[in-house]
Structure 1
Amino acid sequence: MRAPLTLALTLSLVASGLPATSANAQLADSVFLSAPQEEPEAAREAVPAQVAEQSGGDFYCRERRLGEWFYCEKPKAKPSEQRAQQPTQSSADQLAAISKQLEEMKARAILQPTTENVSAYIAFQREQLNRASSFADMWRRTIWQNPELDYTLQRPVNQLGKRTWLDNRTADKNRVLASISKRYGVFYFYSSACAACEVFGPIMRSVSDRFGLTVMAVSLDGGPSKAFPNFTVDTGQYRAMGMQGQQVPALVLFDTQTKRPMPIGYGVMAADEVMDRIFTLTSVEPGSDF
């Protein structure tokens, strides 16, 4: 193919009046060499395996074979990157593994009390104690610097703070109980044959007199009460208050606004305990004291 093309170029130069020198022949050769050559069929089919795996389009990546520099091939992950991609063990699993290892080393030291086994157990145990000490120290430092996390600000534990808290609590309780009779009343269930009721009756009388609290004494067996001569006989009040069985003495706080009964407790209680329970049921949100 080259000889006819060179001859044709030479003849065209002669026809145009230019001498067919060797330089012109070289020019024709250079034109021929710069012309696109047709790639053999076998060469076109010999596509490397990595080119077939390229993720880009056929024309952009497969034909032009641009490789990973033009985002046609996904670069292979380095060994360090492969290790980093592996899922790490959770903290809970790590702690469980430490506990298991500690128990195993302890058992080995007991069953095989050699110097090596006992020394290994003591060293590993000391390591965990140091870790626990660091956690405890960081715990208290965090509490000091974050008052919203300090529970002792709500319920002091030191002697001075606890006394101050109790004084404030007593003042709040007295203020609430001074007006408790405006909304609440108490059902006092008893039995004339109950020895505990004989003891508890006068206590409830003192509570009623001190705070002006209305107490309705209800006899389950129809017998009288020395502390409450104006008693009434149970005609279903016990069950209406949500009480079960026949346990006496029993106290139920009744809200005259919501018509909702709230059992205070059973058995003999001191006057302060009765009023503390009434204050808690009426003025303290559940969970705020703990």
Structure 2
Amino acid sequence: MRNALTLALILSLATGGIAPVAGASAQELTPLLDSVSSARESEAPSSADRERDEDLGGADRVAAQTGDDFYCRERRLGTWFYCDKPKPKPSEQQSAQPARSSAERLAAIAKELEELKARAILEPTPENIAHYIAFQREQLDRASSFADMWQRTIWQNPDLDYTLQRPVNQLGKRTWLDTRNADRERVLSQISQRYGVFYFYSSACAACETFGPIMRSISDRFGLTVMAISLDGGPTRAFPNYTVDTGQYKAMGMRGQQVPALVLFDTATKRPMPIGYGVMAADEVMNRIFTLTSIKPGSDF
């Protein structure tokens, strides 16, 4: 009997209805009907499944709009994923931007300081003036810190301290000058072995009358050969054995007709080196000759 009922239920499921079964009582059919109803309910789609299917369909529609087939349509990620590609947060965008260089930051500070100053001048309210003074004071403090750290760094790194080469304090400067003068005297005492001086003058030049005796004293002191050359053909009392210019002025690389003028000539290299123009003290002339012959360019500053 039970087997017949089971077969009848299976056939009813296949046809979509429940056919009456001969010889079966209501009590015997009730459990079977309950089990059939439960089976149908378990096979029916749940609300969550329907929502998931709707979400999948929505994802397909978004994917169709965005055109990102792989990210949306093919992978079918559902409601927990956005079909639009994730956009970076504002903080991430800021961090992705390259940091400003120190030079750009310093330029921005200078620009802001000028802006605050202009605002305080054009609109001299207490707030604008106070804002400008406060910002200016902040930059002065920064500059003071820089100067202080600069000084401390030089104290601790003697290779960075230029004052060890060229002292600026009174005692150190006096010592440096004494040593420098001793070196200059030693070089000039031997200068005549290699170098000579061309002294260009004019008999009508009052400055030449003053400068001639100065060059005479230097020549006598160090035994330096000085050849006096007159541009106008006139004599000079300091150098009676003068020579009239026949093109030596231009040949030495001199320009114009400025006198007095001095040119140091290297007999070893045959190279002229202009010393200077105009009236100079003896000490200045000696310093220039010493610098041109014994000091490497750039090492004395």
The TM-score, its normalising length taken from structure 1, stands at 0.72
User: What is aligned with 2:282?
Assistant: 271
Distance 2:210 2:129 in 1: 63
Distance 1:179 1:86 in 2: 67
User: What is aligned with 2:104?
Assistant: 93
Q: Which amino acid aligns with 1:288?
A: S
Distance 2:90 2:260 in 1: 78
CA RMSD, aligned part only? 2.4
Does residue 168 in structure 1 map to residue 179 in structure 2? yes
User: What is aligned with 1:4?
Assistant: none
Distance 2:96 2:122 in 1: 41
Q: How far 1:238 moved relative to its partner?
A: 0.9
Aligned-pair identity (%):
79
Does residue 288 in structure 1 map to residue 299 in structure 2? yes
Match of 1:197 among 187, 200, 208: 208
- Superposition pairs for residues 1-80 of structure 1, below 5 Å? 52=70
User: What is aligned with 2:241?
Assistant: 230
Q: Which amino acid aligns with 2:236?
A: S
Q: Which amino acid aligns with 2:70?
A: A
- Superposition pairs for residues 213-228 of structure 1, below 5 Å? 213-228=224-239
Q: Which amino acid aligns with 1:199?
A: T
Shift in alpha-carbon separation, 1:116–1:76, aligned structure 2, 3 A: closer
Q: How far 1:110 moved relative to its partner?
A: 2.2
Q: How far 1:248 moved relative to its partner?
A: 1.1
Per-residue CA deviations over 1:224-243 (Å, capped at 9, x if unaligned) read 11111111111111111111
User: What is aligned with 1:249?
Assistant: 260
Matched pairs, number: 229
Shift in alpha-carbon separation, 1:51–1:152, aligned structure 2, 3 A: farther
Q: How far 1:81 moved relative to its partner?
A: 4.8
Q: Which amino acid aligns with 1:226?
A: R
Distance 2:91 2:295 in 1: 59
Q: How far 1:289 moved relative to its partner?
A: 1.3
Match of 1:114 among 114, 125, 131: 125
Per-residue CA deviations over 1:57-98 (Å, capped at 9, x if unaligned) read xxxxx99x9xxxxxxxxx997765543221112222211211
Instruction: Indicate the larger mover: 96-105 or 163-172.
Output: 96-105
